[in-house]
Structure 1
Amino acid sequence: MDDQVGALREALNRNEVLTDVLAGAAELRLPGWYLTAGCVFQTVWNVVTGRPAAEGILDYDLFYFDASDLSWESEDAVVRAGRARFGDTAVEIRNEARVHLWYEEKFGVPCPPYGSTEAAIDSFPSTTCCIGVRAEPDGRWRVYAPHGLSDAFGLVVRPNPVLAPRHVYETKTARWREQWPDLTVLPWPE
C-alpha cells in the first residue's frame, strides 16, 4: 500500500488544478475535509493512459463534515468562501453531514445520516471512486482508500451497491467509458 500511495501522490502531482485545490482546501481549514471522487481517480486514469492529467475532469469534489450546523446557509457560506479562493475552477464543496437531507430527492433512495466524511466516501457507487486525499499542515498527505488503489491504477471500475442505485452507476460508467475506453467496467450485481 505504501508504494501505491507514493504512486498516487506522484500521479496527482501531475494535475496542477488538483494540487491547487488541495492547497486551497487546506487554507479553508474545513473539518474532516477530503478532495475526493472523480478528480482523484480520473487523474490516475489520465496518467496511466498517457493523457494530460486534468483531461475530462468535470469538477473537483471537496467534502467536509460539520454536524454542528446542518443549515443550507452554513454550507452556502463555505461554498462562497471556496469560490473566493478557487475562482473559476469547478470545485463542488459539500458538507457531508447534510447529504441525508437532499439525497433521496435527487437519487430516489433514502440516505441515512453519515457520521463522517469517510462514511460518505464509503457509499460512492463504485469502489474505484472511494478515494479521498488531503494535505496535512505538516505537508504529509492523508489518503483514505477503503478498497485500496489497485482498481484505480488497473483501470477497473467495480460497483459498490451500498447506497447509490444501479442507474447512477450505469450512467457514470457510460460517460467514463467514452472518455477512457481502456476501462474494464464490471456489471452491477443482480
Structure 2
Amino acid sequence: MLTGDATLPAFNTKLGDPYATSEQDRLAVLEEILLSVPHIVKMLKAVRDLQLPDAWLVSGGIYQTVWNVLTGRPHFHGIKDFDIIYFDGSDMSYEAEDTVIKRVNSTLPDLAELLEVRNQARVHLWYEQRFGRHYRPLDCSMDALTTYAARTHAVAARLDDAEKLVLHAPFGLANLFGMRLVPNYSQMNPETYAEKAARMKALWPELTVLPWEGNN
C-alpha cells in the first residue's frame, strides 16, 4: 500500500496501467487514500448519518483528492467543490432540494461553502435550460456517473452502516490513477470537456488530456 511520497510515482504508473494490476488493487488504494483524508471521512459520515436516499460523494472531491495525494500537493489544492448527490423521486421540487441542501450545510458548516448538493431525480428538469442540451431522466444516483463529461470523473463513494466504504466507478479507475482525462461520449458536451480539461491541466500539469474526437 502507500508508504510515503517517495513511492507515489511508481505506484501511480502501476495503478494507471490497466494491465499492470487489478481493479481490486485500485479500489483498495482508493479506499486507503479517501479514509486517510479527515475532511473526506467527515463528509462521508455526515451524508450517511443524514440518511439521504441513494446518497454519494462523487467526482471532483474524489479524483482531485487522489491526484493531490499522488503528486504531494495539499488536499484542497484545485478543488472547487465537493459534489454530494442523492436520488429522491418522491418530491422533485426545488423547495425539497433546497431543504436538503440546508440540512447538509448545517451538518458540515466548516465545509458548507464548498458543498454542491443535488437531487439527481430532478436534474432533467433544469439541465437543458441551463446548458442548452437535452438530459434524460435518471434512474438512480449512479446513473448520473455515466453522463459526466470525462470517464475519469465517474467515481463515487459512500459509507454504509457497518462503516465500510462502498465505491463505484463504472469506467474503472485506471485513468484516475494514471492521471488521464478521457472523454465520455454518452453525453455530447465537448465544450464542457474542453473547459474542464484546460482548468485541470493548469492545476495538475502531470495530467494527460485525451482530445475529444467525436462519438466513437
**TM norm structure 2:** 0.85
**1:3 lines up with 2:18 in the alignment:** no
CA shift in 2, pair 1:80/1:159, >3 Å: same
CA distance in 2, matches of 1:178, 1:19: 27
Q: Which residue does the alignment assign to 2:18?
A: none
Q: Which residue does the alignment assign to 1:181?
A: 205
Give, as a single letter, the amino acid of the residue that structure 2 aligns with 1:24: A
Cα displacement (A) at 1:88: 3.5
User: Runs of 4 or more off by more than 3 Å in structure 1?
Assistant: none
Larger Rg: 2
Unaligned stretches of 5+ residues in structure 2: 1-22
> Do the aligned partners of 1:100 and 1:111 also contact (CA within 8 Å) in 2?
yes
More displaced 10-residue stretch of structure 1: 166-175 or 44-53: 44-53
**Identity over aligned pairs, percent:** 38
Q: Which residue does the alignment assign to 1:151?
A: 175
CA distance in 1, matches of 2:203, 2:43: 23
Give, as a single letter, the amino acid of the residue that structure 1 aligns with 2:28: G
Q: CA RMSD in A?
A: 1.0
More displaced 10-residue stretch of structure 1: 123-132 or 163-172: 163-172
Aligned length in residues: 190
CA distance in 2, matches of 1:128, 1:146: 10
Q: Which residue does the alignment assign to 2:83?
A: 61
Q: CA deviation digits over 1:62-103, x for unaligned, max 9?
A: 000011111011111100101110114111110000000111
Cα displacement (A) at 1:169: 0.5
Give, as a single letter, the amino acid of the residue that structure 2 aligns with 1:111: Y
1:1-190 → structure 2 map (5 Å cutoff) = 1-89=23-111, 90-190=114-214
Give, as a single letter, the amino acid of the residue that structure 2 aligns with 1:38: G
Unaligned stretches of 5+ residues in structure 1: none
Give, as a single letter, the amino acid of the residue that structure 1 aligns with 2:207: L
Cα displacement (A) at 1:130: 0.3
CA distance in 1, matches of 2:178, 2:35: 19
**TM norm structure 1:** 0.97
